[in-house]
Amino acid sequence: LPFALDHVNIYIVDDGNGWAIVDTGVGDDRTETAWRELLAGPLSGRPITCIIGTHYHPDHIGMAGWLTKTLSVPLYMSESEFLIAQHFETHRGAVDGYHRRSLYRRHGMDEDLAAGVIGKGHSYQRLITGLPENFIRLEHGNNVTIGGRRFEVLTGGGHSSDQVMLFCRDDNLFLVADQVLPRITPNISVTALEPLGDPLGRYLSSMATIQRIVPPDAVVLPGHDWPFADLHDRIDKLVAHHRARCETIAQACRLRPHNTLELMPLLFRRSLDLHQLSFAFTETLAHVNYMVAAGDLHWITSGPYWTATA
Ligand SMILES: [Zn+2]
């Protein structure tokens, strides 16, 4: 990947006479070259049977359009992940439109900073190779068979809209995508598409769902970094991390009302480039929206910026 997080994991799953592919990499020339080499080399003996896209982020489905068209295979996704991908692919203003600028302005940024964070042009469209016209739905509670393995489909919100995860109970093998990562905390962000949304609340409830369905000793295959085997401990740590951030926000807002831009450095202490700042800002807002939804904070919307107070 051409970002600070420099790689994404894709999984090529034995599908009997062929291979099923879970996630695809970002849609750029370098990744296309890697796929061409894989298809002509190690994967050339058997056909690709399908592409499974875990969620709409371009590092995961960037090459899905190219692969499904080149190989004439279907794309499996959850409905809302497919529709949001289509929204970003086809809506010219999805990334740099007025609604995104007004989200940043409302929560404390001046014009210049908002413009800098949004950047120029449509970065999502630059990072994907289009989408097929249709898809096959994966839904929480479904089962899918890939080769000799039966996978239970789990979906969960927070990191994206309704991210797909696959659990093979017989082999105790869990493809978790970006919902739980071993080193970094998955980004949990409010989006301009749903400015009052509560992605952190949806994420925390997804963590409880995973702990209920998947055993603590499952072998976990994530979307970034390495496989791991302490799923429940890792989830406990992630939940504690977000609860600690909420407490930091609560303490600040008990002293005086704060807008989101003022709260951000309390949660993200290192210096951030504009790209990192956009994630830090919308993740801070996710914590505030969660606390507002829980009744722990409320918004004061009368000033130039919305501020949160306890
Ligand atoms: Zn992601």
User: 71 exposed, middle or buried (CB, 10 Å; 0-12, 13-18, 19+)?
Assistant: middle
Mean pLDDT confidence for 117-144? 90
Decide: 187 and 279 in contact? Cβ < 8 Å.
yes
Q: What is the pLDDT of residue 9?
A: 98
Mean pLDDT confidence for 280-286? 97
Name every residue whose Cβ is closer than 8 Å to that of residue 29 and which is 6 or more positions away in sequence.
none
Exposure letters 191-221 (e unless 16+ CB within 10 A, then b): bbeebebbbbbbbbebbebbeebbeeebebb
Q: What angle (nearest 5°) sits at the alpha carbon of residue 155, between those of residues 154 and 160? A: 150
Ion ligand 1 residues within 5 Å by Cβ: 57, 178
**How remote is the CA of residue 298 from the centroid of ligand 1, in Å?**
29
Decide: 172 and 217 in contact? Cβ < 8 Å.
yes
Q: What is the pLDDT of residue 168?
A: 98
212-256 pLDDT, tens digit each: 999 999 999 999 999 999 999 999 999 999 999 999 999 999 999
Q: What is the pTM of this model?
A: 0.95
Of the chain, the percentage scoring pLDDT greater than 90 comes to 90
Mean pLDDT of the chain: 95
76-129 pLDDT, tens digit each: 999 999 999 999 998 877 767 788 999 999 999 999 999 998 886 667 888 999
Exposure letters 21-52 (e unless 16+ CB within 10 A, then b): bbbbbbbbeebbeebeebbeeebeeeebbbbb
**How remote is the CA of residue 301 from the centroid of ligand 1, in Å?**
31
Give the torsion sign (CA, 32, 68, 87, 8): negative
149-198 pLDDT, tens digit each: 999 999 999 999 999 999 999 999 999 999 999 999 999 999 999 999 99
**How remote is the CA of residue 117 from the centroid of ligand 1, in Å?**
19
**How remote is the CA of residue 207 from the centroid of ligand 1, in Å?**
16
Query: Hey, how many other C-beta atoms are within 10 angstroms of the C-beta on 126?
Result: 13
